[in-house]
Amino acid sequence: METLIVHPENKEQLAAIKAFMKALKINFEKKLEESPYNPEFVDMIKKAEKNPSYKTVDPNNLWESLQLK
C-alpha cells in the first residue's frame, strides 16, 4: 500500500482532512514539524537576548549598528 503525505494550508483544511479520513476509517498519525535547530542552541540564543549587553546587527547598515552607544 502507499503512504500519502498531506500538507494542509490552514486549520480548516486540516480539520476537513481529518474528518474525511475518520469517516472512511482510514488510519492516520499526527507528526508535528520539528525545528531544524538544536534545542540547546535555541535556549542559548533566548538567554543571550535577555542579557542587557545583547546587541543586534543591521545587515543594511553594518558599521553603524556595531558602534557603541
Task: Give pLDDT tens digits for 45-69.
Answer: 888 888 877 777 888 888 887 776 5
Burial of 64 per CB tally in 10 Å (0-12, 13-18, 19+) = exposed
Q: Which amino acid is at 15?
A: A
Q: Which residue has the higher pLDDT, 5 or 56?
A: 5
**Rounded to the nearest 10 degrees, how much is the dihedral formed by the CA atoms of 34, 40, 41, 45?**
110
DSSP 8-state assignment for residue 61: S
Q: What average pLDDT does the segment 2-31 reach? A: 93
Q: What average pLDDT does the segment 26-50 reach? A: 87
Q: What is the pLDDT of residue 33?
A: 78
Q: What average pLDDT does the segment 4-31 reach? A: 93
Q: SS3 for 62?
A: helix
